[in-house]
Amino acid sequence: MNIPDPDVRPRAGTPVNPIVIVITLGVSSLFVSLMQSLVLPIQLELPGLLNTSPANASWVLTATLLGGAVAMPVAGRLADIFGKKPVLVALSVVLLVGSLICALSDTLAPMLVGRVLQGMAMGYIPVAISFVREVTPLHLVNTAVASISAMLGVGGALGLPLAAWLADGRDWHILFWVSLGFAAVMVVLSLLFLPHVHDAQDAHLDWLGAIGLAIGLVAFLVGISKGQDWGWTSATTLGAIFGGLAVLALWGVFETRLDDPLVDLRTMARRPVLMTNLAAVLIGFGMMAQAIVVPQLLEMPEATGYGLGRSILQAGLWMAPSGLMMLLFAPVSSKLLSTIGGRLTLTLSGLVLAVGYVLAIFLTGAPWQLLIATCVGFAGVGIGYAAMPTLILENVPPAEAGASVGVNGLARSIGTTVSGAVMAVVMTSRTMDLGGHEVPTLGSFQLCFIVGAVAAAIGAVLAAFVYPLRGRRLAPQELQPPAPAAGPPPPARPPRHPGHPNG
């Protein structure tokens, strides 16, 4: 049974009710995830609003993706070193500053700075997931992890209709003033209701490793996300993708030679951790594929013969229940984790997501039909997003919990980026003429659903191999959180050496 060992007790002496802590972390994670879809309703208007070209304006979306991808593992490591509450508060302030810059911007450069900062705040979620294990009672851990993990999908689903409603007939800056208000609430909640916990470690941040990771990730993700615009065979695209991979390979060699790396790649290479992260890429792929393809199908003109002719706001409202399904399934995910364990729960999530895609192939005739398919699919995503951090936390030492959950979040982010690129290619593979414009055929949409189903099924297969055939899981004392907050800070952790069991 893949639940925290009974000997691993929550931290004693916290003055705040655990329910309040979970609500604080969950609401804040929701606010952060709303930034993913904040500018989608004004995407086509951005070139005119910022007085720039469409190609340059597209970076407003990409900047947030890049900021989040880099921030998740780095924020997790910072939380392991300096403690989780200080990092959570700092990331709330980062979102506040980024939102303020965007709210005051009318040109591209400051807007990109603000959007990068908004993306960096995505590091809040993996830190919150690793923190919740330390400050909640045993019976709440699985439910709390599932609820916070679900916010990644809930925010993305609710952000579109919320942003479309806010931008309808109003000054577009209101989007960022509202996000500024959310960030201010995050700062206050994090300061007041997150307990002070002595979970800092005697270690240092590998700044060179952080810079190398940032360069490699940014280059690779830019190549993937811009490949459709630049051309997949162009020197720019190939240079970005393979150059980024080369930097990441060198970064990996560098990290393995450090006693105190940014990311312990030996821990990441353990079979349960590796398979969980590979499954995360595919589950992230599956979530994003639905989030991209279904709204486009809803918004396609009825003149195509298959389009449903809905506005952006209407499409967002039809998608909202599927995002909420992830949150509603949090107690179900918790029960599954406690009864059949993380491995089978993650396997089940991939199968449910695949079923959602199979349904979508045949249910395209009305919005309510797509709603059924997306609700099934997002239920699978919600189950998977609950299982993945649970599996990670069960198989890594506490001193690496934040960084390891951050890497898992990065894996999901890579999956969503690759999904966007693949779906763009598939959607343009079969087109028809509509009033002088090329639009995807119904077959293109159905092919996207087939690709999503295959990816989800492969994710389920990988999840089945999460636990090694030989070897051991971490012993209870290795999973034991640091000393209770009521006592003095724990003794300094000695630096690693080549013979260290986790080194």
Q: Are 428 and 305 in contact (CB under 8 A)?
A: no
Q: For residue 308, what are the CA distances in angstroms to 259, 358, 369, 460?
A: 57, 20, 11, 32
pLDDT value at position 292?
76
C-alpha to C-alpha distance for 178 and 184, rounded to whole angstroms: 10
The DSSP line for 334-351 is HHHHHHTHHHHHHHHHHH
Give the C-alpha separation, 416 to 403, whole Å.
Answer: 20
What span, in angstroms and rounded, lies between the C-alpha atoms of 418 and 429?
A: 17
pLDDT of residue 297: 83
Quote the pLDDT of residue 421: 77
pLDDT of residue 132: 82
Specify the pTM: 0.76
Regions of the chain where pLDDT drops below 70 = 1-16, 197-203, 401, 435-437, 467-503
For position 436, what pLDDT does the model report?
A: 67
Angle value at C-alpha 202, between 198 and 203, nearest 5 degrees: 125
Helices H / strands E in the chain, number of each: 20, 2
- pLDDT for 235 equals 87
pLDDT at 16: 65
